[in-house]
Amino acid sequence: MIRLAACQYAIELHETWDAYADHLQRLCAEAVEAGAQLLLLPEYAGLVLSGQLPAEQRGDLKASIAGIQPLIEPWRALCESMARRWDVYLQPGSLPVLDADGRYRNRAWLFGPDGELGHQDKLMMTRFEREQWDIAAGQGLTVFDTPLGRLGILICYDNEFPMLARGLAEAGADLILAPSCTDTEAGYHRVRIGAQARALENQIAVLQSPTAGLAAWSQALDENIGRAGLFVPPDHGMPANGVIAESQQLSPASSQWLVCDIDLAQVRRVREEGQVFTRRDWPEQFERVL
């Protein structure tokens, strides 16, 4: 049994590095004190760093992501120090990173008790990212081996594409972390439905963490709606609706943690003894239609 914490992360303005670092450490300490072994924050949670920029710059869509680039290395060091200090796994959400080819990519790092484990880039760009923000797609999927289980990361919109989760499942992932950022209730439900479908299809677990609240100071994060949730295949030993836990309030005004327990061995057992074998039978669909 492992204890997970997914944050409904309220986008707040922190105008200095010290204020932001204190905020992030106090927030994560709440989950650690609740016994969480793995902490998940949402897509673009790292973009809150833009609050430290001058008001005109942080309110500009493209200037804000250019402005936070010098803060990314200190931010990574802070996240790594927290994971080491508390002996936890921390996926602190994502943020846009400028790569050597001159393109920005939406990147999510994973940190653990022994330091940084690696990162996963978002693979499928939304219309907003493609047409207004010019964020480029990443390449490839990564599975992280940890004592808690094999973990994968699919950022927000990526959860709406079955073959991405299938790739992680075939690489042995037991749990997919789904950091998300959606500005409408419909957008939240698209990601949530996708996350739950990926759990059903692959007979694995998916943990979703959303942004929440209003932030008029940021063009990128001005409106945020979502609930945190942990989804599994509905089958023997699992909830009949496939929902282990879900936060009750939609987009609260302050950050809140959904803390829940899961036995990944029990999830794996569904793949061996379940009422259905959606994971095993997956290839047969292509034989039927192609």
pLDDT at residue 250, as a whole number: 87
What pLDDT, in 10s, does the model give residues 128-170?
999 989 999 999 999 999 999 999 999 999 999 999 999 999 9
Q: What is the mean pLDDT of residues 207-219?
A: 94
Q: What is the mean pLDDT of residues 14-42?
A: 98
Helix (H) or strand (E) holding 278: helix 278-281
Domains and CATH numbers, the chain: 2-289 (3.60.110.10)
pLDDT at residue 281, as a whole number: 86
Query: Which is it for the CA torsion 32, 38, 149, 145, positive or negative?
Result: negative
- DSSP letter string, 36-50: -SEEE--TTGGGGGG
At residue 120 the predicted structure's pLDDT band, cuts being 50, 70 and 90, is very high
pLDDT at residue 18, as a whole number: 97
Yes or no: say if 257 and 276 are a contact pair by the CB < 8 Å rule: no
Cα separation, 51 vs 180, whole angstroms: 20
pLDDT at residue 252, as a whole number: 86
Cα separation, 211 vs 59, whole angstroms: 18
Which residue has 């047409």 as its token pair? 131
pLDDT at residue 240, as a whole number: 93
% of the chain at pLDDT higher than 70: 100
pLDDT at residue 251, as a whole number: 78
What residues are paired with 205 via a beta bridge? 175
How much is the mean pLDDT over the chain? 95
HSE-up of 25 (CA within 13 Å, CB side)?
A: 16
pLDDT at residue 290, as a whole number: 67
pLDDT at 230 over 80: yes
At residue 9 the predicted structure's pLDDT band, cuts being 50, 70 and 90, is very high
pLDDT at residue 25, as a whole number: 98
Q: Where are the beta strands (DSSP E) in the chain?
A: 2-10, 38-40, 89-91, 94-98, 104-112, 115-121, 135-136, 143-146, 149-153, 175-180, 205-214, 223-224, 229-231, 243-246, 256-262
Q: The pTM is what?
A: 0.96
- What is the CB neighbour count within 10 angstroms for residue 229? 24
Q: What is the mean pLDDT of residues 110-119?
A: 97
pLDDT at residue 41, as a whole number: 98
